[in-house]
Structure 1
């Protein structure tokens, strides 16, 4: 994409109402614009990142055996009355009436709807276990929306729901999602730490939050230094799931689960002394096992192997897709701007023509742009008639992994400058070597 044809309204200064780094940089880099309190439009650059995050989340859900579907944003209040949550849920739920005076709501979550769908279309134990998921916009009427997409009212979320015949199977589904979450966050370039959590209005007796540590995190947490030092999470990215979890997956889950379960009060007490460090964190995922809370309340049962009725055991598993963008920026930035991990960067390379008014530079840049595109390298080509300093500032701000700079002096030597955004390292290479470098890493 040529920047001269792009819609990229970058800002030199941070708006006064932006309080944390991710909010400031998302506004300055032209990723989002606020349309109402806690509600944002996703501009083209931000939308590209959002879709890449969503795709990684989707791939890991699919890999874990979950099946994608799509449920509506508007739900009937009657479903929530069946579960008993309609009156119990707080003012965060947006309640509305249609023209026929029927009570509706803008869904903050989907336990009731998925339970009704599964209940009405499942009869036998042969239909279990199943994990269904969707990626959909949610709305929660936060009393004080702030921090940009970190605490907004409208947000994109992946929520999955498991159905099993018994508690053992349900905990196995829980373990599968636990591991899938760790692998998802690793692919996103995040070190997300699982912590035992309260179940809140979802219900149940087993729950974990996945926390990304960041100085501007919304909550205070206490973490074992050993957990911070652990590097084995990075080994998850190459794992494949079979129909059942293998022993190494289960061993890995038990290791993490035991660490978080036995120290479930770490977020409230410093009970391990020097072994524990105090940090701030951002919640990017939350998983729950709540047994028959919804299936029993809403009259779900299937015929068991012996012919007797069985009430399925359930769990739910959420990832804040839009919130993840803010978390990635909080974890990966410097004074100049965002530093995108390769997997979610809106473009892989920023191509800068230092002299748009120079025919030789323009010709060389046009040719390199065409070759990068032909090689499948997503490229944002800054072909604007702007000062070099402004172009560098824009590229550093939006944080693409690579920058290639073409200028008259370099062309005289037969080279271009290649910069790695994350490290700032710069090298001069021939055009052929430059293409090979950015395409191969």
Structure 2
């Protein structure tokens, strides 16, 4: 490819709305262009990288017996109604009607579509297990798209789905897919990707993992310890908390005028926040049921853990009217004396296993001292569960080491779905005895564009990306300085042709730009190897050879340039096989 013909100009200044390194360089380097919020066009340079990532994904999916299919982006709503997700998924699912007034959706994921396909094609245990995958466009109507390709509305994703006769077979395949994902992320050149336990969310299932590319701009929190032996996301992380009750003291009502917050009450009574209990109110977003949470004052409620413990699909904060209707007083609420028929009470372990806490008294300007769960809520029937957010420095549940927080970009996820979809959508197989059973499913996704952005976040300098050879848009860039002088242009044309004959992907900058501008563009393109020919090097029958990201350059003989580059390309590619 000649630079003079390449579509996609380089831009000197950072875009005003770009906050992350990858967003800045993808725009400045001419890889992507915005069409609307969270919607981008891929230019030729970006498309070349994406195709290489997709090729690696295909190789690894085929290696674990995957079969590629292609399903529609536009799906009838009745498939999602059949699974129950049409009503349960929020506004991020784009719903519309076609010209015949039939409800339709733009697929943000394809579980329903693949189940519909498989139940028409497979019906016997002899045909299982099987894995089908696709690389397809998705649409998620994000409220706040951000960070370029890291959080978009329209995106390309590899999604795969496996079907099994039982859970044991799924678990065996799940392990194979986990290994394949590790190979994929290594091969595309990510430097630090952690597989962590995660919450299954709307996907369903009991076991899931996220693959997090560790970088400062990541919007997800990875909780781990010093040796990475414990890994979890913030939604499900736990800690080895130890709580002390002490000798229960008599329950005592005390006057706390105007003291509504934990900080106010603790300061007024001269206690630490860890000696208080905090009341937090939610409602089931679908039924309106009031949920009364009691947690120790120095902890925060983890709403995912809470929803999972209560088996409630969606929560919202309760308003004062709902709180008062249950007999509680906002700012001074306590589970003591609350009618269980008017509120569902759940107590975090921190409050249940600590003693002599200060809690509300359900009376304006009053609190109780010395609340003890075992005594003061005995027989209440309330649920005790771990619903607290882990804090940085809390003890690791495996080693006791202080937990640390890292930032990460979620580049892939895998789920053991079980029979969540096959049950509701009647995707069944017949066993040896002719009995029907729901197929057991797994699901495996990788965001292709997000993977490209994550590579930049982990591999760049102040001048631009440093692409790994496995996904670089071209393997070598040939730069002609003053091509109109002293045969430089002719020498570069010969080199350009010889490199192509040798099977090397080469971008030839034939524009005749000044050296500073040419090298600035080369840095933005991030091509791993660079050959520079100028009147000075040509006079010595040499070319300058440089590796992207290195300050040093070397001179090589012009007639050995092609073999030198070919050897370096092969050596670099070997790292990613």
Instruction: With the length of structure 2 as denominator, give the TM-score of the two structures.
Output: 0.69
**1:223 CA displacement:** 2.4
Is contact 2:195-2:231 (8 Å) kept? no
- The runs of 5 or more residues in structure 1 that have no matched partner are 228-255
Confirm whether residue 392 of structure 1 aligns to residue 393 of structure 2: no
Partner residue in 2 for 1:379:
506
Counterpart residue number, 1:209: 210
**Rg bigger for which structure?**
2
Contact preservation (8 Å) 1:195, 1:264: no
Give the count of matched residue pairs. 411
User: Do the aligned residues in 1 keep the contact of 2:547 with 2:553 (CA within 8 Å)?
Assistant: yes
Partner residue, 1:192: 193
Counterpart in the other structure of 1:291: 418
Give me the whole-angstrom Cα distance separating, in 2, the residues matched to 1:98 and 1:11. Answer: 41
State the secondary structure of the residue aligned to 1:380: strand
State how far apart, in whole Å, the 1-side matches of 2:225 and 2:64 are: 29
Structure with greater proportional helix content: 1
Between 1:217-226 and 1:353-362, the stretch displaced more is: 217-226
Report the Cα offset of residue 422 of structure 1: 3.0
SS of equivalent to 1:126:
helix
Deviates more, 1:212-221 or 1:270-279: 270-279
Correspondence 1:265 to 2:387: no
Task: Describe the shift of the 1:58–1:265 C-alpha distance in structure 2 as closer, same or farther (beyond 3 A).
Answer: farther
- Residues 71-150 of structure 1 mapped to structure 2, 5 A cutoff: 71-150=71-150
Structure 2: which 5+ runs fail to align? 240-388, 569-577
Distance apart, 1:386 and its partner CA? 1.1
Match of 2:383 in 1: none
- Indicate conservation of the 8 Å contact 2:207/2:415, yes or no: yes
* 1:60 and 2:184 matched: no
SS at match of 1:318: strand
1:60-105 CA distance string (max 9 Å, x none): 1111111100001001100001111100011001101100000000
Is 1:318 the counterpart of 2:445? The answer is yes
User: How far 1:222 sits from its partner (Å)?
Assistant: 2.1
How many angstroms apart in 1 are the aligned matches of 2:480 and 2:2? Answer: 11
2:483, 2:534 within 8 Å by CA — same for their partners in 1? no
Q: CA deviation at 1:433?
A: 3.0
Match of 1:244 in 2: none
Pick which of 305-314 and 192-201 moved more.
305-314
Q: Does the alignment pair 1:416 with 2:540?
A: no
Partners in 1 of 2:163 and 2:566 — Cα distance?
43
Q: Does 1:336 align with 2:463?
A: yes
Taking the aligned partners of 1:282 and 1:7, their CA distance within structure 2 comes to 29
Instruction: Please state how far the C-alpha of 1:6 moved relative to its aligned partner.
Output: 1.3
CA distance in 2, matches of 1:418, 1:8: 25
CA distance in 1, matches of 2:66, 2:554: 44
Report the secondary structure of 1:113's partner residue: helix
2:361 paired residue number: none
Rounded to whole Å, the distance in 2 between the matches of 1:289 and 1:107 is 21
Q: Secondary structure at the match of 2:48?
A: helix
- Determine helix, strand or coil for the equivalent of 1:105: strand
- Is the CA contact 1:210–1:286 (under 8 Å) kept in the aligned structure 2? yes
Shift of residue 400, structure 1, vs aligned partner: 0.1
Distance in 2 (alpha carbons) for counterparts of 1:40 and 1:93: 19
| Distance change >3 Å, CA 180–CA 106, structure 1 → 2 | same
- 1:162-311 alignment runs, 5 A limit: 162-190=162-190, 191-227=192-228, 264-265=237-238, 268-269=390-391, 270-272=394-396, 274=401, 276-311=403-438
**Cα contact 2:476–2:505 (8 A) shared by 1:** yes
The answer to which of 9-18 and 301-310 deviates more is 301-310
2:20 aligned residue: 20
Correspondence for 2:476: 349
Per the TM alignment, residue 274 of structure 1 is displaced from its structure 2 partner at its CA by 4.3
Aligned to 2:149, the other structure's residue is in SS state helix
> Do the aligned partners of 1:50 and 1:321 also contact (CA within 8 Å) in 2?
yes
TM-score w.r.t. the length of structure 1 is 0.90
- What is the distance in 1 between the residues matched to 2:67 and 2:237? 31
Segment of structure 1 superposing worse, 429-438 or 52-61? 429-438
